[in-house]
């Protein structure tokens, strides 16, 4: 057995260390890329609901500040979890969205009609100015609670791709029925609510 | 001489700082359009004509008319839409990394390049010196020397 003590070994050490560091860095970046792709929630809850073939899907949780100064909201915030035990019509909207203006009277009507059966309409005003949302709610006399999601952080978990979009959540906090993309009709609203009440 | 140089530096600093200060106190819509993101289309405002982009433009114009500074307008937009509404990250907390890492990268790159240049030049000097000295203790072969002399003689003819 011999020990190679040539001076060459000493000069090669930093080079080997540098090569090793580069390899580790490249492997770490590749690992990060694979992890990001593997854990990406593409389509969110809407995609899971569509793939579930009618089976309920857990509604992503959130807590958002209420928009004050309107009939349906006081100060503070609303956690979706606090509405467990009620059927929730979850409506994503923005004041600059034209179809939202047309459907809002229908949502208000459904809120008034089904309130006694434990149904609540919850508006999520996303990517919008709070002042604009307040003016919108007052103009259309919306009495249901509305929360503000300026950054739109709830949109990806729900898989919202445009405004308006509406989901139905049963008393156990599960999404049921179909996600309604675009302006919701009175018939779609009634059907969705009945399905959630019966779930 | 030294006084004149100091005055020159002061004037240069004022020339550089004046537009920045003016831009902070009297921002224009055009400037801010390049620094604010459209929340729905994920581009800067100047690249978007979406309804929310138009609404933000109107908000900025109103705030400029009301006398808000650039920082105040940006802060109000962040309050409404979150930090992602700014095209460049803030220089605080975790976001500070986005500003520091490129500088660290440039410094590290310069150090690596400097080190490589230094080792390369050192190796080059060593090999040049070795070439100039020739192989130590190796007398030229007599037959080979004679052939070189003959070749040189032919070349000179």
For residue A3, name the pLDDT band (cuts at 50, 70, 90): very low
Residue B26: predicted pLDDT: 84
DSSP code for A91:
E
Average pLDDT over residues A178-183: 96
> Which residues does chain B have within 8 Å of residue A97's beta carbon, measured at their own beta carbons?
51
Task: Read off the pLDDT of each residue in A39-57 and give the average, rounded to a whole number.
Answer: 87
Residues 6+ apart with CB under 8 A from A70: A134, A137, A138, A142, A146
Residues of B engaging A, defined by a Cβ cutoff of 8 Å: 39-40, 51-52, 54-55, 59, 79-85
pLDDT over 70 for what percent of chain B?
77
Total domain count for chain A? 2
A164 upstream amide cis, omega within 30 of 0:
yes
Residues 89-128 of A with CB under 8 A from B: 94, 96-97, 127-128
**CATH 1.10.8.640 domain locations along chain B:** 2-88
Same domain (yes/no): A104, A64: yes
Would you say residue B120 has pLDDT above 90? Answer: no
Characterize the bridge pairing of strands A63-65 and A77-79: antiparallel
**B30 token code pair:** 């055009």
Which CATH number goes with the domain that contains A123?
Answer: 3.40.30.10
Domain residues for the domain of A181 are 44-198
pLDDT tens-digit readout, A114-172: 999 999 999 999 999 999 999 999 999 999 999 999 999 999 999 999 999 999 999 99
CB atoms within 10 A of CB A177: 21
β-strand A57-58 against A174-181: which pairing, if any?
Answer: antiparallel
Q: Is the pLDDT of residue A2 over 50?
A: no
**Interchain CB distance below 8 Å, A151 and B39:** yes
**Is residue B21 predicted with pLDDT exceeding 70?**
no
The answer to whether residues A58 and A100 belong to one domain is: yes
The residues facing A67 across adjacent strands are none
Q: Are A65 and A24 found together in one domain?
A: no
What pLDDT is attached to residue A1? 44
B133 or A163, which is more confident: A163
Phi/psi for A9 (5° steps) reads: -60, -40
Q: The tokens of A111 are what?
A: 């809120």
Q: What is the assigned CATH class of domain B2-88?
A: mainly alpha
Provide the pLDDT for residue A53.
86
Q: How far is B99 from chain A (nearest CA, A)?
A: 20
Q: Are residues A127 and A161 in the same domain?
A: yes
Model pLDDT, residue B127? 66
* pLDDT(B9) > 90: no
Task: Give pLDDT, residue B45.
Answer: 95
| pLDDT value at B8 more than 90 | no
Q: What is the mean pLDDT of residues A59-80?
A: 86
A168 and A191 inside one domain: yes
Query: Tokens in use for B24?
Result: 């902070």
A120 in the same domain as A35: no
Looking at the fold, whether A129 and A58 belong to one and the same domain comes out as yes
pLDDT at B71 over 90: yes
Q: Mean pLDDT of all residues in chain B?
A: 84
Residue B19: pLDDT over 50: yes
Q: Which of A105, A106, A94 is nearest to A162 (CA)?
A: A94
The whole-number pLDDT of residue B119 equals 87
Digit-coded pLDDT (tens) for A76-124: 899 999 999 999 999 999 999 999 999 999 999 999 999 999 999 999 9
User: Among all residues of chain A, which has the CA nearest to that of B76?
Assistant: A129
Q: What is the mean pLDDT of residues B92-116?
A: 88
Sequence-ordered alpha helix ranges (H) in chain A: 7-38, 44-51, 98-114, 130-139, 155-158, 186-198
pLDDT at A44: 92
Whether A29 and A55 share a structural domain = no
Whether A3 and A80 map to the same domain: the answer is no
Q: Are residues A93 and A122 in the same domain?
A: yes
Contacts of B52 in chain A (CB under 8 A): 94, 96, 127-128
pLDDT in tens, A4-25: 445 555 567 777 888 888 899 9
Rounded to the nearest angstrom, the minimum Cα separation between B10 and chain A is: 43
**Chosen from A92, A100, A129 to mutate, greatest number of chain B CBs within 10 A:** A129
Name A58's bridge partners.
A174
pLDDT of res. B59: 97
Is A151 at the interface with chain B, CB within 8 A?
Answer: yes
The pLDDT value recorded for residue B157 is: 74
């Amino acid at each position: 057995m011999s020990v190679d003590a040539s001076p060459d070994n000493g000069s090669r050490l930093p080079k080997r260390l540098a090569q090793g560091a580069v390899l580790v860095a490249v492997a770490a970046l590749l690992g990060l890329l694979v992890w990001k792709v593997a854990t990406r929630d593409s389509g969110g809850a809407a995609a899971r609901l569509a793939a579930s073939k009618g089976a309920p899907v857990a509604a992503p949780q959130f807590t958002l500040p209420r928009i004050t100064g309107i009939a349906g909201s006081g100060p503070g915030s609303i956690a979706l979890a606090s509405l467990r035990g009620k059927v929730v019509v979850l409506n994503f909207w923005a004041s600059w969205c034209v179809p939202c203006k047309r459907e809002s009277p229908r949502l208000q009507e459904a809120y008034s009609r089904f309130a006694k059966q434990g149904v609540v309409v919850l508006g999520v005003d996303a990517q919008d100015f709070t002042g604009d949302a307040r003016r919108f709610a007052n103009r259309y006399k919306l009495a249901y609670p509305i929360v503000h999601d300026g950054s739109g952080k709830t949109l990806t978990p729900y898989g919202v791709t445009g405004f308006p979009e509406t989901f139905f959540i049963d008393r156990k906090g599960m999404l049921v029925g179909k996600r309604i993309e675009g302006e919701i009709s009175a018939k779609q609203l009634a059907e969705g609510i009945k399905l959630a009440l019966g779930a | 001489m030294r006084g004149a140089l100091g005055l020159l530096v002061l004037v240069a600093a004022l020339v550089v700082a004046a537009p920045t200060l003016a831009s902070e106190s009297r921002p224009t819509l055009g400037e801010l359009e390049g620094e604010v993101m459209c929340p729905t289309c994920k581009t800067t405002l100047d690249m978007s004509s979406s309804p929310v982009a138009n609404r933000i433009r109107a908000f900025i114009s109103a705030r400029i008319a009301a006398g808000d500074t650039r920082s105040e307008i940006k802060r109000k937009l962040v309050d409404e839409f979150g930090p992602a509404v700014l095209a460049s990250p803030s220089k605080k907390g975790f976001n500070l990394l986005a500003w520091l890492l490129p500088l660290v990268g440039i410094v590290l790159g310069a150090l690596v390049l400097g080190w490589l240049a230094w080792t390369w030049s050192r190796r080059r000097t060593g090999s040049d010196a070795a070439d100039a000295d020739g192989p130590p203790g190796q007398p030229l072969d007599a037959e080979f020397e004679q052939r070189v002399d003959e070749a040189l003689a032919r070349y000179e003819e």
